[in-house]
Amino acid sequence: MRVDAQLFTGGTILTIDPNHRVVAGDVACVDGLIVHVGGPYTPQTRDYQIVDCAGCLVMPGLVQAHVHTCQTLARGRADDMELLDWLRTVIWPYEAKLDEPAMTASVELACAELLLGGTTAILDMGTVHHTDAVFAAAERAGLRATIGKAMMDEPDPQIPPGLRESTSASLDASAQLIARWHGAANGRLRYAYAPRFVLSCTEDLLREVGVQARAKGVRIHTHASENTGEVALVRQRFGKDNIVVLDELGLLGDHCCIAHCIHLSSEEKRLLAARGAHVCHCPSSNLKLASGIASIPELIAAGVAVALGADGAPCNNNLDGFLELRLAALLHKHRSGPRTLPAPEVVRMATLGGAAALGLADRIGSLELGKRGDVIAVDLSPLHTVPTESPWSAIAYAAKACDVRHVAVDGNLVVRDRTLLTLELPKVRENARKSASRLFS
Ligand SMILES: [Zn+2]
């Protein structure tokens, strides 16, 4: 049997195409490419893997544009804290202790949770070291991932010695990772420069990242304006606001995805829109760390492209794209009215918005001919989605990650009937538990 041809049969297809078409029928993929969407499809040969999607909504996989798969072992270890405390007392010491086996355990756990929950692509920030292990685990799991090593060359005594690096070491390591992984696994794995945030980086490093990212056609992934304490420290060090600093150092552009962007001046909002930068909204993380609520309706009105992300297990504590989607749809209605972020807009944000933030809107984020086969089937038989009046409403407000029945990435079926085909879950669970207790003992 050919395994490079798949037929997802008999579902209701949420295409996320420019016309927001919802059609009944089949989705066919050959060699990873979508060759048919909607209506019955009769294969020319018998070599197709047939995936029964009757009773399911078939849609593009969710894309999360801000995740830390390296932090998954710290789930539940840093609750009820604010950002800078959370980073300095738990997360940075944890990341400094991560060795290669623990990194592998953390990323495999994250990839398994993400894929089983219908997330097919992520923009991931690793830590300073062991980024090869992050790529290798994502490759094995079958996830589409744009990954960067966290860059932290600022000589800040609060950063543990295990995470401190020189400017040249940070840039050299990034260059080597680009050579090894950017475009690997048939383009499924890509690199993004990941200066952690301006406070963890020297100006020299940030300026050089701006130059090299443009020269190499590689994206930039960073955090900004998450917390008022962070914003005050940035003003103290630079005499300017975060987004202005990123712009003046040459990092801001449509190749740049910035997580959070909660505490922004109107000048910063205007700059984000003018430069075409992408903002990744992480509502659970922002609420749990009491960071604040980003002005997403205002950013969208100003013309800023917005995506969604779960951030990391220790600040969420799930990596559940459906949960973020629902929370984003609900959170802004309180302030801006019930029509704010209606279901189709937020579902589009969770799929095509994420694809755009990864620079992959021409390849993924919708089910259209010629795009890559990143396809999920969401079961509509669980009682909490019955009856299904509108598929948009079902996905935005009612469906849960555990309703995801099948998942394909680049045409490869990685979840079938809620079973992950690429990793062994008992091993993933055992390695995660053992590594976490070793690191935190
Ligand atoms: Zn983050």
3-state secondary structure string across the chain: CCCCEEEEEEEEEECCCCCCCEEEEEEEEECCEEEEECECCCCCCCCCEEEECCCEEEEECEEEEEECHHHHHHCCCCCCCCHHHHHHHHHHHHHHHCCHHHHHHHHHHHHHHHHHCCEEEEEEECCCCCHHHHHHHHHHHCCEEEEECEECCCCCCCCCHHHCCCHHHHHHHHHHHHHHHCCCCCCCEEEEEEECCHHHCCHHHHHHHHHHHHHHCCEEEEEECCCHHHHHHHHHHHCCCHHHHHHHCCCCCCCEEEEECCCCCHHHHHHHHHHCCEEEECHHHHHHCCCCCCCHHHHHHCCCEEEECCECHHHCCCCCHHHHHHHHHHHCHHHHCCCCCCHHHHHHHHHHHHHHHCCCCCCCCCCCCCCECCEEEEECCCHHHCCCCCHHHHHHHHCCHHHEEEEEECCEEEEECCEECCCCHHHHHHHHHHHHHHHHC
Query: Ligand 1 centre from 263 Cα, in Å?
Result: 15
Structure token digits, residue 159? 């950063």
Residue indicated by tokens 């189709």: 344
C-alpha 241/C-alpha 243 separation (Å) is 6
Query: Ligand 1 centre from 43 Cα, in Å?
Result: 44
Query: Ligand 1 centre from 224 Cα, in Å?
Result: 9
pLDDT by 10s per residue, the chain, length 441: 445 899 999 999 999 999 999 999 999 999 999 999 999 999 887 789 999 999 999 999 999 999 999 999 999 999 999 998 999 999 999 999 999 999 999 999 999 999 999 999 999 999 999 999 999 999 999 999 999 999 999 999 999 999 999 999 999 999 999 999 999 999 999 999 999 999 999 999 999 999 999 999 999 999 999 999 999 999 999 999 999 999 999 999 999 999 999 999 999 999 999 999 999 999 999 999 999 999 999 999 999 999 999 999 999 999 999 999 999 999 999 999 999 999 999 999 999 999 999 999 999 999 999 999 999 999 999 999 999 999 999 999 999 999 999 999 999 999 999 999 999 999 999 999 999 999 999
Query: Ligand 1 centre from 96 Cα, in Å?
Result: 16
Residue indicated by tokens 């755009």: 356
Structure token digits, residue 346? 């937020």
Query: Ligand 1 centre from 226 Cα, in Å?
Result: 9
Question: 24 has which bridge partners?
Answer: 12
Q: How many residues does the structure list for the chain?
A: 441
pLDDT of residue 117: 98
C-alpha 124/C-alpha 147 separation (Å) is 5
Query: Ligand 1 centre from 177 Cα, in Å?
Result: 21
The 10 Å Cβ neighbour count of residue 434 is 14
Structure token digits, residue 410? 């680049």
Q: Which residues of 188-198 are buried (b: 16+ CB within 10 A; e: fewer)?
A: bbbbbbbbbbb
Angle between helices 167-181 and 203-216 (to 10 degrees): 20
Q: Provide the residues around ligand 1 (an ion) whose CB is within 5 A.
A: 311
Question: Could you tell me if 340 and 332 are in contact, meaning their C-beta atoms sit under 8 angstroms apart?
Answer: yes
pLDDT of residue 3: 59
Query: Ligand 1 centre from 426 Cα, in Å?
Result: 28
Question: 307 has which bridge partners?
Answer: 280
Query: Ligand 1 centre from 68 Cα, in Å?
Result: 6
Query: Ligand 1 centre from 254 Cα, in Å?
Result: 19
Query: Ligand 1 centre from 67 Cα, in Å?
Result: 6
Residue indicated by tokens 């409403």: 393
Nearest CA among 347, 350, 344, 335 for reference residue 297: 335
Query: Ligand 1 centre from 94 Cα, in Å?
Result: 15
C-alpha 347/C-alpha 328 separation (Å) is 10
Query: Ligand 1 centre from 258 Cα, in Å?
Result: 9
Query: Ligand 1 centre from 123 Cα, in Å?
Result: 10
Query: Ligand 1 centre from 361 Cα, in Å?
Result: 22
Question: 7 has which bridge partners?
Answer: 28, 50
**Strand pairing class (22-30; 33-37):** antiparallel
Query: Ligand 1 centre from 320 Cα, in Å?
Result: 15
Alpha carbon of residue 324 to chain centroid? 11
Query: Ligand 1 centre from 310 Cα, in Å?
Result: 9
Rounded to whole angstroms, what are the CA distances from 225 to 71, 295, 306, 319?
21, 12, 15, 22
Q: Please give the span between the terminal C-alpha atoms of the chain, in angstroms, as a whole number.
A: 49
Query: Ligand 1 centre from 133 Cα, in Å?
Result: 19
pTM strictly above 0.85: yes
Query: Ligand 1 centre from 364 Cα, in Å?
Result: 23
Query: Ligand 1 centre from 204 Cα, in Å?
Result: 22
